[in-house]
Structure 1
Amino acid sequence: MAGNDACSIYVFDAYGTLFDVHAAVRQHADALGPNSALLSEIWRSKQLEYSWVRALMGRYVDFWTLTEEALDFAFSKVPDANKSTRQDLLAAYHKLAAYGEVRMVLDSLKARGAQLAILSNGSPAMLEAAVAGNGLEDLFDHVLSVDATRTFKTKSETYDLVTTAFRCFPDAVSFQSSNRWDIAGATAYGFNTVWINRTGQPDEYRDLAPLAQFKDLNGLLNL
């Protein structure tokens, strides 16, 4: 990553990369019932689908609204799930737990002199709550929400937020995401990309390959 060596900018997707998108459901799994994991998977997949469709239509609503709508859809698809947990789930999602290695890896990168940022579909209030709830607010030079562009990743204007904030070219950036579609978009944009493949998913978008793939963020420390 020659460009990244020169600029030392590391940008992270938030949900699924830094913050565990299934933590909210696990927290309330007993109250939800035996199909809590299924509900969590549907919730996440619909949340993403809604962002892609909204971006294609040019009909933006913020990510928190999509999160609420996706949860309501998940409840409709899993009728035996306890709907009285809805507000508890949303409150937990607002302050999702970070993955176990996140703080150590970010501290290590910062100690090397790296500049750090988040680029996320999440709304500003969601990101503020998640970052503060995990005590990470001292680590990031920028927390960037696509809300400023009124669309969602993988639209190129969302990645423009990074190069504008840091006043750099795309190849000066190392971009990390657990979402393969996000890695494809960021690669097409010109970032150096690292796929954090936490769940061992098969590769896709092979014409837009990441420079590296790791099971968690610890791999960044060996690049």
Structure 2
Amino acid sequence: MSTVLAFDVYGTLIDTQGINEQLQELVGDQTPTFSQRWRDKQLEYAFRRSLMGAYADFSQCTRDGLEFVDRALQTQLSDNDKDALMATYGRLPAFTDAADALARLADSSKLRCVAFSNGSREAVNGLLEQAGILEYFEDIVSVEEVKRFKPDPAVYAHLHNRLEVAAQDVWLISSNPFDLIGAKHAGLHVTWIRRSAEAPFDTWGGEPDMTVSDLNELVDRIT
């Protein structure tokens, strides 16, 4: 039986810091703070919507996060500025290791690669296509199909049920500890892509089954 590698998208394959060049032009020295708080609020709103049973597309969580941080930091972005930032968010670049690592995985007959994301299928398809890595995925599994967000157990159950494999035959590949803890709780194996040596893992979630510094190290260890 083949093993499924389910790749998180935002922050794992796609670099969410790719927005920073455009932010620099708009908010200057506040860029690092603005970028991090925007990402944090995007995820917070997804978590809250999932708990409330008030699902909205991930892009709405992203826009709401942008609106909040603009108010909180008093950056006074115009509607045109916000629209332009949201458009760029739909064209974020892949990490430099993604294409090479995925191409190497494509040579294995024992591995199935899927993208698994909080983003809508349409948004993820567009991101992966413009980044030149869509061809390496058998499928895109989006949480919109169950209208819950990671780390709700329902989304991980949906992942392995839709792919018709047991939970233990799926490895989640992610740089986001909250995602990994959720997947491990749901019975999946997990690999942490620890892109920064300073990045901590949550102390209460148990250790990942595997930790690597980038996607190429992942391929080296599993093929």
Please name the residue that 1:193 is paired with: 190
Please name the residue that 2:98 is paired with: 102
Give the drift of 1:164.
2.0
TM-score where L is the length of structure 2: 0.92
Work out whether residues 39 and 78 of structure 1, in 8 Å CA contact, stay in contact via their aligned partners in 2: yes
Q: CA RMSD in A?
A: 1.5
Give the drift of 1:195.
0.8
Structure 1 residues 140-151: aligned runs within 5 Å: 140-151=137-148
* Aligned-partner Cα distance in 2 for 1:60–1:205: 29
Please name the residue that 2:89 is paired with: 93
Give per-residue Cα distances to partners, 1:78-124, cap 9 Å, x unaligned: 21364452122111101110000000111111112221101111122
TM-score where L is the length of structure 1: 0.92
Unpaired stretches in structure 2, ≥5 consecutive residues = none
Unpaired stretches in structure 1, ≥5 consecutive residues = 1-5
Instruction: State, as a whole percentage, how many aligned pairs show the same letter.
Output: 28
Give the drift of 1:70.
0.4
Letter in 2 for 1:29: Q
Please name the residue that 1:165 is paired with: 162
Helix, strand or coil: the match of 2:106?
helix
Structure 1 residues 6-25: aligned runs within 5 Å: 6-25=1-20
Structure 1 residues 56-135: aligned runs within 5 Å: 56-80=51-75, 82-83=77-78, 84-113=80-109, 114-135=111-132
* Aligned-partner Cα distance in 1 for 2:75–2:55: 32
Give the drift of 1:206.
4.0
Helix, strand or coil: the match of 2:192?
strand
* Aligned-partner Cα distance in 2 for 1:148–1:208: 28
Work out whether residues 33 and 82 of structure 1, in 8 Å CA contact, stay in contact via their aligned partners in 2: no
* Aligned-partner Cα distance in 2 for 1:76–1:216: 35
* Aligned-partner Cα distance in 2 for 1:157–1:90: 28
Letter in 2 for 1:86: K
Q: Residues 68, 166 of structure 1: CA spacing in aligned structure 2 closer, same or farther, 3 A cutoff?
A: same
Q: Residues 23, 190 of structure 1: CA spacing in aligned structure 2 closer, same or farther, 3 A cutoff?
A: same
* Aligned-partner Cα distance in 2 for 1:203–1:36: 25
Letter in 1 for 2:163: F
Please name the residue that 1:3 is paired with: none
Give per-residue Cα distances to partners, 1:118-150, cap 9 Å, x unaligned: 111112221121011112221111111100101
User: Number of residue pairs matched?
Assistant: 218
Work out whether residues 33 and 81 of structure 1, in 8 Å CA contact, stay in contact via their aligned partners in 2: no
* Aligned-partner Cα distance in 2 for 1:54–1:33: 31
Work out whether residues 184 and 205 of structure 1, in 8 Å CA contact, stay in contact via their aligned partners in 2: no
Helix, strand or coil: the match of 2:5?
strand
* Aligned-partner Cα distance in 2 for 1:51–1:205: 22
